[in-house]
């Protein structure tokens, strides 16, 4: 054997690897692959789960059809739904009729073939109950009071306005919430009529389309009215200027204890919230406010103001209660 290195290099170049691999059988190729996996170090950049070869070479047991699977699942779901809908509980009237039929059957078992012929139809045809899964009987509709307005608010606008103008003592609460298509002129008439009214305690006009002009009228009304304790203008179209105008007039009003103006169409904004918190410092009677402040600063200021007003009202009640008893009840 020759030891010439040029001959060795020439022999290595003449080796045809593809031809050798083509001559190997599938079993020999698999064995060669196994030996190569042991000799060659795994690539560190490849994830651990992908370094080994796939050892789950199992032939499929059947054909897979996605559309058939989805169709079967849909059919199974619809079948369960139809079965649930068909399980309609029997009404009390139906149970009574069935019990009467069973009693009648027991009493006529001894009467012979003629009685058995009559039992084929124990219930009259006009009393047979047909259960339809699409038309379930509405058992509770008899107790529901139907109204002429979709909102369900049956307040008579004209008569209530006349009573407010005449200062009728029987009207202490005016609720116009959710009434559809109230004319703006009528809302202004209500607000103007409340300026001189002395008996209305609660005025609610939520979701009635109140805009900024009516809000300014409400502010002027609060300057003169001394009977309203609760004002609700939620879910309307009042802007930040209108709300600030209402809050500004509270420094002249010592009767209002609850004000609700949440869920307006337009956001009040940071400037309006800061102005509200500043103006409320001059009011000592407001105890509840229905609004969620977006800014944490005004929110904390208003919370402290309402807490202060509640404590002030508690002190006033304590003084009124103490003034009705002799001083001997209170040790020095």
Would you say the pTM of this structure is higher than 0.75?
A: no
- Half-sphere exposure of residue 162: CA atoms within 13 angstroms, side-chain side: 5
Average pLDDT over residues 200-221: 96
Distance CA 202, CA 14 (A): 106
Q: Could you tell me the residue ranges of all domains in the chain? A: 157-323
Pick from 108, 135, 138, 130: nearest CA to 120:
108
Task: Match domain 157-323 to its CATH number in 3.80.10.10, 3.40.640.10, 3.30.110.30, 3.30.30.60.
Answer: 3.80.10.10
Tens digits of per-residue pLDDT, 222-247? 999 999 999 999 999 999 999 999 99
Task: Tell me how far apart the alpha carbons of residues 60 and 63 are, in angstroms, rounded to a whole number.
Answer: 7
Query: For a pLDDT cut of 90, what percent of the chain falls above it?
Result: 47
Query: For the segment 115-158, what is each residue's pLDDT rounded down to a tens digit?
Result: 454 444 554 444 444 444 444 445 444 554 555 567 778 899 99
**% of the chain with per-residue pLDDT over 70:** 70
Q: What pLDDT shows up at residue 257?
A: 96
Strand partners, 174: 203
């Amino acid at each position: 054997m020759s030891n010439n290195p040029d001959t060795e290099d020439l022999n290595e170049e003449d080796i045809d690897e593809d031809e050798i691999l083509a001559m190997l059988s599938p079993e020999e190729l698999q064995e060669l692959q196994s030996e190569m996996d042991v000799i060659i170090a795994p690539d560190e950049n490849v994830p651990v789960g992908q370094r080994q070869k796939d050892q789950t070479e199992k032939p499929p047991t059947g054909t897979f059809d996605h559309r058939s699977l989805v169709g079967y699942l849909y059919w199974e779901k619809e079948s369960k739904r139809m079965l649930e809908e068909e399980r309609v509980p029997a009404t009390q009237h139906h149970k009574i009729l069935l019990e009467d039929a069973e009693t009648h059957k027991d009493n006529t078992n001894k009467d012979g073939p003629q009685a058995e012929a009559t039992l084929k139809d124990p219930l009259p045809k006009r009393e047979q109950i047909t259960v339809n899964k699409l038309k379930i009987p509405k058992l509770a509709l008899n107790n529901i009071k139907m109204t002429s307005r979709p909102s369900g608010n049956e307040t008579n606008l004209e008569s209530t306005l006349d009573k407010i103008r005449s200062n009728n003592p029987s009207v202490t609460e005016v609720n116009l919430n959710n009434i559809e298509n109230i004319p703006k002129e009528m809302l202004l008439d209500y607000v103007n009529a409340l300026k001189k009214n002395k008996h209305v305690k609660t005025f609610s006009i939520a979701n009635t389309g109140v805009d900024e002009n009516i809000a300014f009228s409400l502010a002027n009304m609060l300057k003169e009215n001394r009977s309203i304790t609760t004002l609700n203008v939620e879910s309307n179209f009042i802007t930040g200027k209108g709300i600030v105008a209402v809050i500004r007039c509270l420094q002249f009003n010592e009767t209002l204890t609850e004000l609700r103006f949440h869920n307006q169409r337009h956001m009040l904004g940071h400037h309006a919230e800061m102005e509200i918190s500043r103006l409320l410092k001059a009011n000592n009677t407001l105890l509840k406010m229905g609004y969620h402040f977006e800014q944490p600063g005004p929110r904390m200021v208003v919370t402290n103001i309402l807490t202060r007003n509640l404590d002030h009202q508690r002190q006033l009640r304590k003084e009124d209660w103490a003034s009705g008893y002799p001083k001997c009840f209170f040790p020095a």
